[in-house]
Amino acid sequence: MMQELKHLAIIMDGNGRWAQNRGKRRIEGHKMGANVVRTITTWCAQNAISTLTLYAFSTENWKRPKYEVDFLMKMLKNYLDQELETYQKNNIRFFAIGDIDAFSSPLKEKIFEVQEKTSQNNALTQILALNYGGKNELSRAILHNKERISQASNAQEIEKVLEDSLDTRGIPSVDLLLRTGGEQRLSNFLLWQCSYAELFFTPTLWPDFTIVELNAIIDQFLKRHRRFGGL
Ligand code: IPE
Ligand code: IPE
Ligand code: MG
């Protein structure tokens, strides 16, 4: 049977190294990376992928120098401002996962505004993982559903409660997880949702990543035999 690729998730890593390799400041890498986000997102919308989740800022990324964190926050708001047009033109729904409460009010409002304005679009759902950590997501889900969880009588019921309470509720689990930048780790990304994802790692730094390489990876994915524990 032909493999289905409904949900592609990407850990966009290597922006800082891309810039440093060119003697530039790390933030220049983030700027270039934002262009690649637009290219890849538009391609996914035009090629029948239903969900694209992009890791943009982790719960651990606050450890970075204030200058870089501030830049990323500013860039995120500008990106959402600019991209509304791209979202509407390509019928893309924007959705954020992660602990958004930690962000400034203007940024939060921008996130909610773009979510609202694109909520009826249905070619692709682009999910940005913002202040996202898999452990934090699961912990919040438990915190907000203590009663339902305590009433559950078996593990299966708890699994259902959690599935329904994660930030990704209603979204199919990840089929293909890709990490650019050469590291082979999850860095707290979609721990629950990747339980049966096919994993791909490329040394290409995110600002250098292209549609051509994505196509080659998808070709390999389509040839893999997924068993989901069966035979
Ligand atoms: C990924 O690139 C983008 C974010 C984490 C915001 P990095 O900034 O981690 O780039 P490297 O890994 O240092 O090269
Ligand atoms: C993961 O990249 C987070 C994002 C891409 C947003 P990091 O660069 O933060 O991950 P580590 O620190 O190398 O694990
Ligand atoms: Mg990195």
Whether the pLDDT of residue 50 is over 80: the answer is yes
In a domain, 42, yes or no: yes
- What pLDDT, on the 0 to 100 scale, is given for residue 2? 57
- Which residues make beta-bridge pairs with 178? 10, 200
Segment 181-200, tens digit of pLDDT: 999 999 999 999 999 999 99
What's the CA-to-centroid distance between 181 and ligand 1, angstroms?
8
Give 3's pLDDT tier (boundaries 50, 70, 90): confident
Please give the Cα distance from 36 to 15 (Å, whole number): 11
Please give the Cα distance from 194 to 138 (Å, whole number): 13
pTM over 0.75: yes
Please give the Cα distance from 123 to 50 (Å, whole number): 7
List, as one string, the DSSP characters of 154-217: SHHHHHHHHHHHSTTTTSPPPSEEEE-SS----TTSSTTTTTTPEEEE--S-GGG--HHHHHHH
In a domain, 124, yes or no: yes
Q: Is 90 a catalytic residue?
A: no
What's the CA-to-centroid distance between 108 and ligand 1, angstroms?
22
Ligand nearest to the CA of 69: 1
In a domain, 147, yes or no: no
Average pLDDT, the chain: 97
Ligand nearest to the CA of 184: 2
- What pLDDT, on the 0 to 100 scale, is given for residue 1? 47
In a domain, 154, yes or no: no
What's the CA-to-centroid distance between 184 and ligand 3, angstroms?
11
CATH number of the domain residue 98 falls in: 3.40.1180.10
In a domain, 74, yes or no: yes
- Average pLDDT estimate for 218-222: 98
Ligand 1 proximity of 204 Cβ (cutoff 6 Å): no
Catalytic residue among 21, 35, 61, 70: 61
Q: Look up the domain containing 213 and give its range.
A: 2-132+173-223
In a domain, 122, yes or no: yes
Q: Is 13 a catalytic residue?
A: yes
Ligand 2 proximity of 80 Cβ (cutoff 6 Å): no
Ligand 1 proximity of 72 Cβ (cutoff 6 Å): yes
Does an H or E element contain 93, and which? strand 92-97
